[in-house]
């Protein structure tokens, strides 16, 4: 490498060393401040929403909502679940596992249509085939 090429190479590296930290600072400054966890819940809030029942247990918050389009079950996962494949089932009157409602995963809110009179839910790990928890309203 000639001395002219060594000078250009040095100048380019000094420029890169100065630009990369500046870009990192700009990226950190421009991180959005709005909450990411409750976006779905806030986005689906409509006029005429009535909360029928609310239950909070372990790492889940359940709300039974009455909307213009029908009754919905909102399951909000407050802490990450230990199982990777988790299904939600309705509880029968004898507290046995009933109809499949939906599947939940990572932290955040999930809304499912609720059919009829929902007395509670069963959270079931479909891989290990074991019940995680039962929650009654």
The pTM of this model reads 0.60
Q: Exposed, middle or buried by CB within 10 Å (0-12, 13-18, 19+), for 4?
A: exposed
Q: What SS3 class is residue 6?
A: helix
Q: Exposed, middle or buried by CB within 10 Å (0-12, 13-18, 19+), for 101?
A: buried
Compute the distance between CA of residue 73 and CA of residue 121 in angstroms, rounded to an integer. Answer: 10
pLDDT value of residue 105? 84
Dihedrals phi, psi of 59, to nearest 5 degrees: -110, 20
Give the pLDDT confidence of 65-96 residue by residue, as tens digits.
888 788 888 888 888 888 878 999 988 877 78
Compute the distance between CA of residue 114 and CA of residue 93 in angstroms, rounded to an integer. Answer: 15
Give the pLDDT confidence of 20-72 residue by residue, as tens digits.
999 999 999 988 775 554 444 443 454 567 888 888 887 888 888 888 788 88
């Amino acid at each position: 490498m000639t001395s002219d090429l060594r000078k250009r190479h040095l100048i380019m590296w000094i420029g890169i060393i100065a630009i990369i930290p500046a870009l990192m600072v700009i990226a950190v400054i421009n991180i959005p401040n709005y909450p990411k966890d409750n976006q779905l819940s806030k986005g689906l809030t409509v006029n005429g929403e009535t909360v029928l029942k609310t239950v909070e247990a372990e790492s889940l918050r359940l709300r039974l909502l009455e909307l213009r389009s029908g009754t919905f079950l909102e399951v909000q996962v407050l802490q990450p679940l230990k199982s990777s494949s988790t299904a939600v089932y309705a509880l029968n009157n004898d507290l046995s596992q009933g109809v499949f409602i939906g599947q939940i995963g990572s932290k955040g809110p999930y809304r499912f249509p609720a059919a009829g009179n929902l007395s509670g839910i069963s959270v079931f790990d479909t891989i290990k085939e074991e019940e995680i928890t039962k929650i009654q309203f």
